[in-house]
Amino acid sequence: MQLPERFFEEYPLKEVSAASLTHFRMITVTMSDFEEQLDDTVIPLMNGSRYEGFLMEKAYVMNLSKTEDIVPCMRKIKDSVNTGLLIRTAIEYQDEVMPLVLKKICRSGYDVFIENAAVLLANVDTKYTEQLYDLFPDIRNAYARSELCIVFGVKKKAEYTSLLVEQFRKIKAERTDNDYEQGPLLALNLIYDMIG
């Protein structure tokens, strides 16, 4: 499918949105230098109780090795500083983790799980991107569809343009109270190199 003429002029991308924040996480989660700098900046600013909680959660995440523990943790993780570690652990166990993540994403309404699943999908083998495309009609939550569209943009899936345009229009009509349409719009911008 060809994009409608003047599509990007008619629908400019917002500089800051939930989609742009998720995209940033997608491209930085495996950058260990960035993660170290983030830790060095954020951890010293934590108050006592947050620091204790952060350390306990970090120790828990570092010992995860079973799918049945990793996937629920993607929904329950409390400290954002530990999410990078969790995603990198899930990437390591992707062959075990991804079937359950793809199953759960169809019904999930938990924003934290949705965002973590999107970041994970952007960083695992492309075969899971194709599986995501196949199950896309089963994803109920508009925010989940928005966030997951970004995966197709990061993976440069131009063959999914019609799905992205359809989701842009559908989400824009469904959720006039927010900017969820920015997910598919960001994906299209990434595919057609409109960013940068």
For the segment 147-164, the average pLDDT, to the nearest whole number, is 97
Name the token pair of 188. 């299209």
Res 196 pLDDT > 70: no
Res 155 pLDDT > 60: yes
- What does 50-108 look like in DSSP terms, one character per residue? HHHHHHHHHHHHHT---HHHHHHHHHH---GGGHHHHHHHHHHTHHHHHHHHHHHHTT-
Nearest-angstrom CA–CA distance, 173 and 190:
22
Query: Measured on CA atoms in the order 69, 72, 74, 77, is the torsion positive or negative?
Result: negative
Q: What is the pLDDT of residue 4?
A: 82
Contact, 165 vs 139, CB < 8 A? no
> Which pLDDT tens digit goes with each residue over 45-54?
888 888 888 8
- How many residues are recorded in the chain? 196
The distance from CA 194 to its chain's CA centroid, rounded to whole angstroms, is 20
Res 168 pLDDT > 70: yes
Per-residue pLDDT band for 78 (boundaries 50, 70, 90) equals: confident
Res 177 pLDDT > 90: no
Burial of residue 145 (number of CB atoms within 10 Å: 0-12, 13-18, 19+): buried
> Which pLDDT tens digit goes with each residue over 94-121?
999 999 999 999 999 999 999 999 999 9
Helix 83-92 vs helix 111-121: crossing angle, to nearest 10:
50
